[in-house]
Amino acid sequence: MALRSPEGVPDSRGLNLFDADPSCRGLLELHLDPGLFAHLLPHLTRLGAMAGAELDELALIADKNPSRLKGQEVEKNPAYRNLEEVAFGQYGLAAMSHRGGVLGWPEQMPPAAKYALSYLYVQAEFGVCCPLSMTDALTRTIRKFADPALVARYLPGLTSQDMDLLTQGAMFMTEQQAGSDVGLISTIAKKQGEYWTLHGDKWFCSNADAGLALVLARPEAAPNGTAGLSLFLLPRTLPDGSANHYQIVRLKDKLGTRAMPSGEIKLEGAHAWLVGDPQQGFKQMADMINMSRLSNGMRAAGLMRRALTEALFVARNRKAFGKYLVELPLMRRQLLKLMLPAEAARSVLFFISGELQKADAGDEAARRIVRLMTPLIKFRACRDARKVTGDAMEVRGGVGYTEEWSDPRLLRDAHLGSIWEGTSNIVALDVLRAIRREHCLEDLLPLLNGKIESAPRLLAGRLAASLDKAADFAHEAASTGNEAYARQAATGLYYACAAALMAHEGTRLGERGDARRQLLAFLAYVHRLAPRDPLRRVTTGYEAELAEALLPETPIAPDAAERILTRLA
């Protein structure tokens, strides 16, 4: 029995994670249609309550009881199965982009709705979000590229909310010699009339027992490199009910996502169907990869919010030296440093969600914006999540390091975001590639400059100058092929975009009485964009004033925000 004392360790268990995040509601009102927002509000409230209580408990149990391989069956702990049921079944998170009828909404839901719910879910459980995202993304990719008869066969299972009928998705790309360098894939595909057989070893296969996987392989006699790769759909069970010809060799023993089974798979003449154009295999797979990268950005944003919620709760309820932690100047500064990346990530996430919706409706400029912003959020938000989850753990003190609380699990899971679906270096290089090859900045900059214009003058001038500078840097690194600066360029661009977006949200929310995000935009400017001298003595007390305004997470009227900005500027 653990010791408990009312004056001792504050117990955040049972918090409603939606209600404990007061800005979330206003933000969602901005980014969702009013009718859909009103419809989703009770679902968000219920999911927030579950995420802070039973889902969190299930996630703790699942984390301590990893999946195991028994023969060719993956044995999952009942806690993990429950977590799957909530995500795929009750909330239909993998289905809602592909059909109506999920959560009582008659149409397919827009990306912002899916990400809003998943953002809340991931605050309790990160591991299940990988199969969720892969199922959702695989469905999207086959609907775009596969033979309609194949899509018709598998769509009902992929979008089912009945766990007995559900088919989950996976992606098998990585091989021992071919991770970042996908062009080195050596799995061979042999044509056998209607279908193909696959022969080779896949080295990292998350959701290893999924019913369907998209696989990259090289048809016999196809050229080397990515140009010679084709995309295949691999079922776990063949249409006649027999097991397909591949073996799960073993499951990985991982730092995080311990309950979600990632395996090694030996393809021994496994039957598979060609998807789309055999010469465009890698390009088609990029569609699934990019959706997974965006989902990773969303997950990082959610992990950071959970970490911030916990840190604020502890700081508001724990005393040291006769004061609540949140009253101590140095702690206030640290809390602001957790708040900024967490808030920045969700502004970027909801911006991309809106652009993705337009892109899917055929808007080419929006497609290019999504093309650039996806590796940007995957890179920066996933890196920020590593730090924010670690630093939030420290706010809880010694017990933060114990497995009784969510902190260690969040930290372990956060580290994965930066590695899979492209490491930090690889996605930062992809940012430069998007700028160089597809000229994505040309669509992004006018849009963001338009958003900045609505901010108070003192803020707008600084943000516009920062955006210019960050874009120039990124453009130069991209056009000169200066790879060594890819990460620095991506970080600058990400925060310049995030600041512009937060300022605009602040202006729009200000019309309803809350301009707090304008102050967050200013914080982004001071901490991430303005030139800094590490030895400069700060005499203005601007951080104390920002902490005073931002840490309570209560609305700030536009005139009050403008007064603060005028004083600080």
Give the residues lining the site for ligand FAD (CB under 6 A).
171-174, 179-181, 204-206, 254, 257, 262, 416, 419-423, 425-426
Q: Closest separation between CB of residue 76 and ligand FAD, Å?
A: 16
- Shortest reach from residue 495's CB to ligand FAD, in Å: 21
The β-bridge relationship of strands 230-235 and 212-219 is antiparallel
Between residues 133 and 466, which has the closer beta carbon with respect to ligand FAD?
A: 133
Do 315 and 399 meet the contact criterion of CB atoms below 8 Å apart?
Answer: no
Closer residue to ligand FAD (CB): 77 or 206: 206
Judged by beta carbon, residue 10 or residue 235, the one nearer ligand FAD is: 235
Helix (H, G, I), strand (E, B) or coil at 187: coil
Q: Are 259 and 80 in contact (CB under 8 A)?
A: yes
Structure tokens at 181: 């360098």
Minimum distance between the CB of residue 321 and ligand FAD, rounded to whole angstroms? Answer: 42
Q: Which residue has the tokens 């959610």?
A: 302
Bridge partners for 320 per DSSP: 323
Q: How far is the CB of 500 from ligand FAD (least distance, A)?
A: 29
Residues 79 and 85: their CA atoms lie apart, in Å, by: 10
Complex with ligand FAD: residue 259 or 311, whichever CB lies closer: 259
Please report how close the Cβ of residue 81 comes to ligand FAD at its closest, in angstroms: 20
Q: Do 527 and 464 form a contact (C-beta atoms < 8 A)?
A: no
Shortest Å distance, C-beta 428 to ligand FAD: 9
Residue closer to ligand FAD by CB (options 67, 466) is 67
Question: What token pair was written down for 196?
Answer: 């193909």
CB of 410 to ligand FAD, least distance (A): 16
Residue placing its CB nearer to ligand FAD in the complex, 18 or 420? 420
205 vs 502, beta carbon nearer ligand FAD: 205
Hey, how many other C-beta atoms are within 10 angstroms of the C-beta on 461?
A: 13
The whole-angstrom separation of Cα 243 and Cα 274 is 19
CB of 171 or CB of 455, closer to ligand FAD: 171
Asked whether the beta carbons of 263 and 250 are under 8 A apart, the reply is yes
Closer residue to ligand FAD, CB minimum distance, 136 or 355: 136
**Please, what is the minimum distance in Å from the beta carbon of residue 414 to ligand FAD?**
13
Phi and psi at residue 122, in whole multiples of 5°? -65, -15
CB of 484 to ligand FAD, least distance (A): 9
Indicate the residue among 247 and 423 with the shorter CB distance to ligand FAD.
423
DSSP sequence for 120-160 = HHTTT-STTHHHHHHHHHHHHHHHHHS-HHHHHHHHHHHT-
Report DSSP state, residue 239.
T
Residue nearest to ligand FAD (CB): 179
Least distance (Å) from ligand FAD to the CB of residue 535?
A: 32
Measured between alpha carbons, how far is 435 from 416 in angstroms, rounded to an integer?
26
Q: What is the DSSP letter of 526?
A: I
CA distance 447 to 352: 13
Quote the radius of gyration of the chain (alpha carbons, Å). 24
Closer residue to ligand FAD, CB minimum distance, 60 or 205 = 205
Helices (H), 396-423: 407-417
DSSP category for residue 109: P
CA angle, 151 then 155 then 161, to 5°? 170
CB of 293 to ligand FAD, least distance (A): 11
Question: E-assigned strands of 220-289?
Answer: 230-235, 246-251, 262-275
Dist. CA 408–CA 386, nearest whole Å: 11
Task: Look up residue 63 and give its two tokens.
Answer: 């984390």
Cα–Cα dist 468/474, whole Å: 10
Closest approach, Cβ 260 to ligand FAD, in A, equals 8
Query: What is the rounded CA–CA span in Å between residue 208 and residue 174?
Result: 13
Length of the chain: 569
CB-nearer residue toward ligand FAD: 180 or 224: 180
In whole angstroms, the minimum distance from the beta carbon of 68 to ligand FAD comes to 16
Which is closer to ligand FAD, CB of 80 or CB of 420?
A: 420
Are 26 and 509 spatial neighbours (Cβ–Cβ below 8 Å)?
yes
Phi, psi of 285 (to 5 degrees): -65, -30
